[in-house]
């Protein structure tokens, strides 16, 4: 038996009372474990295999790369109440973990991403803006996804200061003097460009109070969605749900405005 630390990403029912638990482990990357009887009402495993839980358990590693490990006993589990009570925070947590699961191979050691995810869950629980937390992951995961936009400098002149815009043609930022080289650049405002550049290098531990206008948040999401849809070709179900959720929220706001007239 082994003592394993991990973060529960998601679960799937397996037979009547068992669960397949997808976990980002601290030392061995992404693994799937079988939790026998976890769906029984009095199961001691149930509290430790909820999504977005930091868990330490006694179990067995998979014997093969594509095989199942086993969860025999949960020693400790840390759940985050906001991710249970707040549908928006929960949705963005789902987006983050789905992106991590889609980005990395089974058994790939990604301790840095384990640590970043653990910190991000803490930040979400502390009421930080869930979209911004997710945006940081979306931007930084572009590197292991093989896109790696150049956020540092204009690729033609090497310029690092001044006005910039995002260019798919040049896979990154281009300076104002080269705007005419790409008629399809995204025409982003400079606050959006600033945050894109900052988020590409920031450590999650440095993220504290977040104050960002709705306009800038929309600009960030616009370029991130553009890159993922046109260059990566990845759109998790959690992203679709978030878009639908925002649509519902906007419809409710418009309805309330009409009824107040």
Tokens of 89: 């925070």
In the three-class reduction of DSSP (H, G, I as helix; E, B as strand; rest coil), residue 33 is classed as: strand
Q: What is the pLDDT of residue 149?
A: 96
The sign of the torsion formed by the CA atoms of 220, 215, 211, 235 equals negative
Is the distance from CB of 133 to CB of 202 less than 8 angstroms? no
What CA–CA distance (Å, rounded) separates 145 from 240? 20
What CA–CA distance (Å, rounded) separates 126 from 38? 29
Element (H, E) at 121: helix 111-125
Tokens of 142: 């572009």
What CA–CA distance (Å, rounded) separates 141 from 190? 22
pTM, rounded to two decimals = 0.91
pLDDT: which is higher, 257 or 180: 180
pLDDT (average), residues 160-170: 96
pLDDT over 90 (residue 55): yes
pLDDT over 60 (residue 253): no
Q: Tens of pLDDT along 9-47? A: 999 999 889 999 999 999 999 999 999 999 998 899 998
């Amino acid at each position: 038996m082994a003592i394993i630390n991990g973060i529960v990403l998601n679960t799937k029912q397996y037979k009547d009372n068992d669960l397949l638990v997808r976990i980002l482990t601290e030392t061995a990357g992404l693994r799937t474990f079988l939790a026998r009887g976890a769906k029984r009402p009095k199961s001691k495993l149930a509290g430790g295999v909820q999504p977005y839980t930091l868990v330490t358990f006694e179990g067995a590693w998979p014997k093969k790369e594509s095989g199942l490990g086993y969860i025999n006993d949960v020693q400790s589990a840390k759940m985050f109440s906001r991710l249970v009570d707040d549908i928006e925070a929960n949705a963005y947590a789902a987006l983050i973990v789905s992106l991590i699961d889609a980005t990395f191979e089974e058994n790939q050691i990604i301790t840095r991403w384990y640590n970043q995810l653990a910190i991000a869950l803490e930040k979400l629980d502390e009421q930080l803006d869930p979209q911004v937390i997710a945006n940081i992951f979306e931007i930084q995961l572009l590197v292991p996804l093989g896109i790696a936009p150049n956020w540092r400098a204009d690729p033609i002149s090497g310029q690092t200061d001044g006005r910039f815009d995002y260019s798919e043609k040049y896979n990154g930022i281009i300076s104002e003097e080269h705007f005419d080289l790409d008629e399809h650049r995204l025409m982003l405002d400079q606050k959006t460009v600033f945050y894109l550049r900052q988020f590409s290098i920031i450590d999650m531990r440095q993220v504290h109070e977040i104050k960002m206008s709705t306009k800038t948040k929309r600009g960030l999401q616009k370029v991130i969605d553009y890159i993922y849809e046109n260059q990566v070709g990845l759109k998790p179900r959690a992203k679709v749900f978030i878009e639908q959720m925002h649509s519902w929220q906007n419809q409710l706001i418009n309805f309330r405005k009409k009824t107040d007239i």
